[in-house]
Amino acid sequence: MKFVFIIAGVLISVLTIAAGLIYVERRLLALFQDRLGPNRVGPFGLLQVIADMIKIFFKEDWIPPFADKAVFVMAPGILIATILLTFAVIPFADNFIVLDSNIGLLFFLGNSSLGVYSIVLGGWASNNKYSLLGSIRASAQMLTYEVFMGLSLVGVIMMADSFSLRDIVEAQRGGWFVIPQFVGFVIFFIAGIAETHRTPFDIPEADGELVAGYHSEYSGMKFGMFFVGEYMGVTLISALIATLFFGGWLGPSFLPPAFWFFLKTAFFICMFILIRASLPRPRYDQLMELGWKVLLPLVLLNILITGGVLIYTHSL
Amino acid sequence: MLSILRSIWYTFLHAFHKRETQGYPEKLPYLPPRYRGRIILSRDSDGNERCVACNLCAAVCPVDCIALQAANDENGRRYPEFFRINFSRCIYCGFCEEACPTYAIQLIPDFEMGEYDRQNMVYEKEHLLISGEGKYHGYNFYNVAGVDMGVKGTGKGENEEAPVDLKNLIH
Amino acid sequence: MIKIQIDGTFYEVKGDRNLLETCLALGFDIPYFCNHPSLGSVGACRLCAVKKFADADDKKGRVVMSCMEAVTEGMRISVNDPAVKTFRAAVIEGLMTNHPHDCPICDEGGECHLQDMTVMTGHNYRKFVFKKRTYNNQNLGPFVQHEMNRCIQCYRCVRFYRDYAGGKDLNVFGSANHVYFGRHKDGILESEFSGNLVEVCPTGVFTDKPLKKHYARKWDMTNAPSVCMHCGLGCNIIVSERYGSVRRVMSRYNGSVNGYFICDRGRFGYEFINNPDRIKKIQFRPSKNNNLQEAREVSETGLSEIFKSGKVVGIGSPRASLESNFALSALVGKNNFFHGISGKEQKLIQKAVSILESGIAHSPSLKEIEKCDAVLILGEDVTNTAPMMALSLRQASRNKTLGIAAKLGIPKWNDNAVREMDQDTKSPFFIASSFSTKLDELADEIYNAAPGDIARFGYSIASAINSGAPVLIHPDEKLQNRVRKIADALSAAENPLIVTCITSGNEDILNASANIAIALSTAGKKPSIAIAFPECNSVGLSMLDGGSLDEAADTISKNGADTLIILENDLYGRLSLKNADSIFEKCRQIIVLDHLMNETAKRADILLPASTFADSVGTIVNNEGRAQRFYNVIQVAEPVKESWRWISDMVKISEKNNDYTWDKFDNVVASLVSSYPVFSGIKEKMVSADFRFFNEKIARQNKRFSGRTAMNANISVSEPKPPQDNDSPLNFSMEGYKGDPPSSLIPYYWSPGWNSSQSMTKYMDEPEGHLKEGGDPGIIIFSNKNKSSVDYFKNFPDPFKAKPGELLIVPVYMIFGSEELSSKGETIAERISEPFILFNEKEITKLQLIENEKSKFIINQVVITAIVKHDNKIPDGVAGLSVLTAGMQYTDLPDLGKVLST
């Protein structure tokens, strides 16, 4: 019974946060751009989310006649599924976790690799040259950043000596990993942005050149799933950053542990939006160059140094 | 690298700046008197319509959205029998106001012209004519026109001599 | 050819016109006001200054008025010299010191020569600080609006009105800075050509008064080339439309027909098109006793049954186009087609056409009439029946003066010098008429007699010219001397002209004119005969096979007819009440196609709305035998259709002959030409609807046409597609060829920098010359047969003897009122007089009538009430009765009549 309660709690909170982000992102972007943002529907425009949902449900859900129908319908589902599955291993609090797996982190990495399929298949099934270009870019970008996203976490794993996310959090009782693993944190953050293809790494959907990339042909709720999927990805990466580098639910005891976790996650979500408001999109080749020529050596160096330091401290 | 962080910082600082958003329609914006909005037809200081149906506004209109027909009243004063502007075509360029020799046609600071039915964008003279003089006060074209059009007698206008006495050879 | 040098470039020119017109013909834009190619030049405005150099070495030169300068061999001038440019700007500045500030309310605005010239010279700011001079205006009648404040004293109006058109009541008054152009007091301008002041005046002193009532700017009007429908001369006109109604008619230049001018009937006669009495609905009468009811389509009126059984008779009309008349004759068959004119008139017209076609005399154009050096008018009051011919005759009377001037080395264009030299010299000019006419003032000899006596007078002239002619010598020695004087003058002339008549209803006059022409050509001269045919297409109709109305009445009363189709014709204006009624009673079903309600239309069982000349395309033939095409300016509005299209529908319903169903105008023309090869020129030489000029149609609208997206917005804000025109090579829009179109398709005159009608010059090879791009429009239909086959006419009528108590009543035609269509316009209606009857004063006393009071007369059982007036030139026993289409019952004149009561 408790298990069902936890699953329901995770699902509801993730979906609520993702939907709420539609509103929050618009309000925050407006904040950074000296505007007001949506403020017409309900108090402070809070009902904007509902309005948008109603709108997107009533939109014509059109499948192009030239599309591969089965794949076209499946693609957005894959995205939502992989992200939601990942939330199973995230410890919201000490005992608030769906699946306390001893390979939690690997599970996350595996799922995020599967997420690429959603985009590749969506673009391919659309049978539209812009969509296909978008998904080719997406696969290249996500494969690249997948590599050092994993590598950037090796330092954390070495220090916690476990793949279990719960253990990793517990390992931070002495101090957050962001301090010894600062480089790892930065690289994971960058890779996270790329993984969720948010601005400035929204090259797969680059409106200016690819119309809307892999989801050009999507409309109605299928588009809505891509749209919400993106926000869930943002939430996921923020939650992971909080878990892996900022001590997860740990915090002073005057507030419940889950609250600390949400607070840290929310902070990183805001960082995502702030970065979107600030930085322009790099060129595709610049993105790949940064990945392979700067970040990969850096992350390898980080592993080497972390390893060296660990061997040194253990040998003492 | 630093510049990226600096950009992010500056963007963040914008969160504490003054909002640029105008609270329209609760708070109406200030529009300067020469704002080019809805077109009206004005009257002169005697309360007569200023338009003399010269057709210059219609001729200069780049989208040809003004149509009118001249007529003469019982005194011979010329006025438009009908005067129609198709606002669904109007681009608010203000050429008509510039072309108008009588200050009759004027663009005013009002842009709230949305309609659900496009047919309602067609304005006839009774919709266009206002009861005042608009931006330009005290001008009456017929006083300076130099001819008698049933408004003032020959030679009674500004800068005119009394009519010539043909029977008089001394001048 | 003469070689002259203008601004360093050499040009070859003819040298018979003044320097200004020569430069204009070469394409130079020299501003001018007072010069007019037909009026000559007097150097009044001082605007057309150019610099003339003495020889090739002269560097200084001197400013001269180009309109007063003859073109000489080796002449060197400069048009663009800074000195003359400054001079011209200063002249305009001077002229503008008193010009009012009223272009927005001036009807000339947008087509004003003064505006054009001011822009051309560059003057734009009035530096003169003193007040503007003003004048009181006059009411000049219903045609012309007067606004003297706008005057720039170019003198064109009086030079046209008095010198060219022979008017008496417009003049120039005052002196120095107080010069005034007007009448001695308010009143109607008497001249038949007063409307031309609108076009002659370079600014807005004289403007079109009927236009003022429904004013539209020149650039806003849709225009089409057309031909005047109000007399037999076929003057070329431009018809202009705005918002679906005709707004005005302007003259369209045709160097062989009307030149720059048209008469007032032509200019202001268009208003019948806008008449509220226009038939615009299909109407039918369910049974004989019912009133006409509206029908939505023809099939409701049961037309198909009519055509499938029974005999159909068709009556055509001399005021309908050739194509419509032909269509009707094709529908009913030649044997059942009748010209809609009386037997007498038909006989006269056919005789007149046969005389013109026989080749014994040339059929002159109006331009050729101007060149004739002796004129004899037999029985015609040209001023009232064919006004523009009278204007040409006025010019012809000056040929002697011009000849003398030429001998003295004074060129024709130097108008003032020629007129100073003139001192009342006139070419030989003779008139024989039953009453006084306006041209009497030009005549050397006037013979007033009854029509039969005029014919005898003509026969005697023929016999005096050539002894071979049948001999008729007047016993009266004085009269015989006059005959000899006229005969001598005609014999001495190179190009003598005989103007003869149909309207007086006397065939002997035609025969006598033919005799004079035969006599003159036997004597080696080249005589011309000009005839004023009664209606616009009288000549064209007479060339189609068909009987007269009298024959139609006979056929119907003998054999009966199931259906009678009447094409654009009012039988009550051509037959006596009794005869017309009898035709209608004998027919089971009467179909009338017409555009205006009249007595005939009221008798119709099926009334179909036909289009007028303004909303249809057609061809008519004028008095010269010139076929000319008029084009539609208004789009035909359902259910109105062109007559030929209605008839084509009837052919379809009758299922008789599918060759005669036409969906395009050109197909009617093709059918017409295959049936009547005499008209082959119409098909071969006139442009067809698929004609394209540089791959484009010709636009009826100026490129500045305004209000396109608003004019129909009150009906629906969605704009309709521009109407398509499959019957003409013209477009109902601004789209089309941008340049000078072919001469027969000029919809309006405009040239860059020349917005007024003065831009006409740009369309000609030289001022007063012929049109570029195809020459003067129109195709001569008359074929000149071998003249040797024509013999003298020999049957002299008896001299007229007045019987006591009996009067010979002759018709007196009026410019306003005698023509049916123009009389239906409100402006012309203001000028129509009440019915009147003319006697000499002795006769009035004898008959105990009171002048200026109404009296009753009986003519062939018809009672006429008319105001008695005097004209002392009317012989004893003769009375002249006004011919009016409205307010008077039809009587066949001339006829005997008597006084009923006083």
Whether chain B has a CB inside 8 Å of the CB on A277: the answer is yes
- Given an 8 Å threshold on Cβ–Cβ distance, is A32 in contact with B14? yes
CA distance C88 to chain B (A): 24
Q: Choose the mutation target among B5, B21, B22, B26 for the interface with A, i.e. most A CBs under 10 Å.
A: B21
| Interacting residues of B166 by C-beta distance below 8 A, sequence separation 6+ | C173, C174, C178, C180
Mean pLDDT (whole number) for C611-616: 94
Q: For chains A and C, tell me whether 3 or more CB atom pairs sit within 8 A of each other.
A: no
- Given an 8 Å threshold on Cβ–Cβ distance, is B166 in contact with C173? yes
Mean pLDDT (whole number) for C74-97: 93
Counting one residue from chain A and one from chain B, the pairs whose CB atoms sit within 8 A come to 33
Give domain status of residue A114, yes or no.
yes
Of B64, B146, B162, the CB nearest to C709: B64
Domain of residue A94 covers 62-315
Interfacial residues of B (vs A; Cβ cutoff 8 Å): 4, 7-8, 10-12, 14-15, 17-21
**Confidence at C201, pLDDT banded by 50, 70, 90:** very high
CATH class entry, domain C2-95: alpha beta
- Given an 8 Å threshold on Cβ–Cβ distance, is C104 in contact with B64? no
ipTM of the complex model = 0.90
pLDDT of residue A208: 65
Q: Which residues does chain A have within 8 Å of residue B17's beta carbon, measured at their own beta carbons?
A: 34
Would you list the DSSP string of C524-591?
A: T---EEEEE-SSTTHHHHHTS--B-HHHHHHHHHHH-EEEEEEES--GGGTS-HHHHHHHHHHEEEEE
**The pLDDT of residue C424 is above 90:** no
pLDDT of residue C871: 94
Mean pLDDT (whole number) for C737-760: 92
Q: Which residues does chain C have within 8 Å of residue B64's beta carbon, measured at their own beta carbons?
A: 705-710
- C residues 641-680 lying closer than 8 A (beta carbon) to B: none
Mean pLDDT (whole number) for C864-893: 91
- Given an 8 Å threshold on Cβ–Cβ distance, is C709 in contact with B56? no
CA distance B74 to chain A (A): 57
pLDDT in tens, C56-70: 888 899 999 999 999
pLDDT of residue B130: 94
Q: Choose the mutation target among A278, A290, A298 for the interface with B, i.e. most B CBs under 10 Å.
A: A278
**The pLDDT of residue C289 is above 90:** no
Dist CA C359 CA C367 (whole Å)? 19
Block residue for tokens 């929050």: A24
- Given an 8 Å threshold on Cβ–Cβ distance, is B15 in contact with A278? no
Dist CA A311 CA B106 (whole Å)? 86
- Given an 8 Å threshold on Cβ–Cβ distance, is B55 in contact with C220? yes
Annotation: CATH topology of C346-539: Dimethylsulfoxide Reductase; domain 2 (3.40.228)
**Confidence at C814, pLDDT banded by 50, 70, 90:** very high
As to burial, measured by CB atoms within 10 angstroms (0-12 exposed, 13-18 middle, 19+ buried), residue C262 is: buried
- Given an 8 Å threshold on Cβ–Cβ distance, is A274 in contact with B17? no
Do the strands C76-78 and C2-6 form a parallel or antiparallel pair, or are they unpaired? parallel
Q: How does the average pLDDT of chain C come out, rounded?
A: 91
**The pLDDT of residue B171 is above 80:** no
pLDDT of residue B150: 84
Whether chain B has a CB inside 8 Å of the CB on C270: the answer is no
Of B84, B148, B160, the CB nearest to C713: B84
- For domain B36-144, say whether CATH 3.30.70.3270 is its number: yes
Mean pLDDT (whole number) for C761-771: 90
Give domain status of residue A162, yes or no.
yes
User: Which of A147-156, A171-180, C25-34, C754-763 has the lowest average pLDDT?
Assistant: A171-180
pLDDT of residue C786: 55
The domain ranges of chain C are: 2-95, 346-539, 807-901
Q: Which residues does chain B have within 8 Å of residue C708's beta carbon, measured at their own beta carbons?
A: 64
pLDDT of residue A68: 86
pLDDT in tens, C487-529: 999 999 999 999 999 988 889 999 999 999 999 988 888 899 9
Look at A200 and C52; give whichever has higher pLDDT.
C52
Q: Which residues does chain B have within 8 Å of residue C704's beta carbon, measured at their own beta carbons?
A: 59
Instruction: Spell out the alpha helix ranges (H) of C638-704.
Output: 643-654, 665-675, 680-685
Q: Dihedral sign for Cα C534, C535, C539, C542, please.
A: negative
Q: Which residues pair with C706 in a beta bridge?
A: none
User: Which chain A residue has the Cα nearest residue B6?
Assistant: A278
Give domain status of residue A127, yes or no.
yes
CATH class entry, domain C807-901: mainly beta
Whether chain B has a CB inside 8 Å of the CB on A34: the answer is yes
- Given an 8 Å threshold on Cβ–Cβ distance, is C220 in contact with B63? no
- Given an 8 Å threshold on Cβ–Cβ distance, is B18 in contact with A33? no
User: Which chain A residue has the Cα nearest residue B13?
Assistant: A32
Give domain status of residue A29, yes or no.
no
pLDDT of residue C902: 54
pLDDT in tens, C32-48: 999 999 999 999 999 99
**The pLDDT of residue C291 is above 70:** yes
User: Which chain B residue has the Cα nearest residue C109?
Assistant: B54
Mean pLDDT (whole number) for C266-288: 90
The domain ranges of chain B are: 36-144
The closest of C615, C456, C669, B77 to C447, measured between CA atoms, is C456
- Given an 8 Å threshold on Cβ–Cβ distance, is B146 in contact with C132? yes
pLDDT in tens, B97-144: 999 999 999 999 999 999 999 999 999 999 999 999 999 998 999 988
As to burial, measured by CB atoms within 10 angstroms (0-12 exposed, 13-18 middle, 19+ buried), residue C663 is: exposed
The closest of C761, C628, C721 to C253, measured between CA atoms, is C761
Q: Which residues does chain B have within 8 Å of residue A32's beta carbon, measured at their own beta carbons?
A: 11-12, 14-15
Q: Choose the mutation target among B9, B10, B19 for the interface with A, i.e. most A CBs under 10 Å.
A: B19
**The pLDDT of residue A207 is above 70:** no
- Given an 8 Å threshold on Cβ–Cβ distance, is C717 in contact with B121? yes
User: Which chain A residue has the Cα nearest residue B17?
Assistant: A34
pLDDT of residue C784: 67
Give domain status of residue A88, yes or no.
yes
pLDDT in tens, B16-61: 888 888 888 888 889 998 999 999 999 998 899 999 999 999 999 9
Counting one residue from chain B and one from chain C, the pairs whose CB atoms sit within 8 A come to 140
Q: Which residues does chain B have within 8 Å of residue C212's beta carbon, measured at their own beta carbons?
A: 72
- Given an 8 Å threshold on Cβ–Cβ distance, is A279 in contact with B10? no
Dist CA A160 CA A155 (whole Å)? 9
pLDDT in tens, C775-800: 899 999 887 665 555 688 888 898 99
**The pLDDT of residue C655 is above 80:** no
**The pLDDT of residue C7 is above 80:** yes
Q: Which residues does chain A have within 8 Å of residue B11's beta carbon, measured at their own beta carbons?
A: 32, 274, 277-278
User: Which of A109-118, C208-217, C436-445, C748-757 has the lowest average pLDDT?
Assistant: A109-118
Do the strands C245-251 and C236-242 form a parallel or antiparallel pair, or are they unpaired? antiparallel
Give domain status of residue A16, yes or no.
no
Dist CA C227 CA C321 (whole Å)? 11
Dist CA A82 CA A112 (whole Å)? 7
User: Which chain B residue has the Cα nearest residue C242?
Assistant: B69
**Confidence at A14, pLDDT banded by 50, 70, 90:** confident
Mean pLDDT (whole number) for C382-406: 94
- Given an 8 Å threshold on Cβ–Cβ distance, is B17 in contact with A279? no
Contact C847, C868 (CB under 8 A): no
Whether chain B has a CB inside 8 Å of the CB on A46: the answer is no
Q: For chains B and C, tell me whether 3 or more CB atom pairs sit within 8 A of each other.
A: yes
User: Which chain B residue has the Cα nearest residue C108?
Assistant: B54
- Given an 8 Å threshold on Cβ–Cβ distance, is B19 in contact with A279? no
CA distance A29 to chain B (A): 9
**Confidence at C228, pLDDT banded by 50, 70, 90:** very high
Number of structural domains chain A divides into = 1
Q: Dihedral sign for Cα C304, C649, C230, C597, please.
A: positive
pLDDT of residue C453: 93
Would you list the DSSP string of C672-688?
A: HHHH-GGGHHHHHHS--
Residue type, C530: A
Dist CA C379 CA C500 (whole Å)? 6
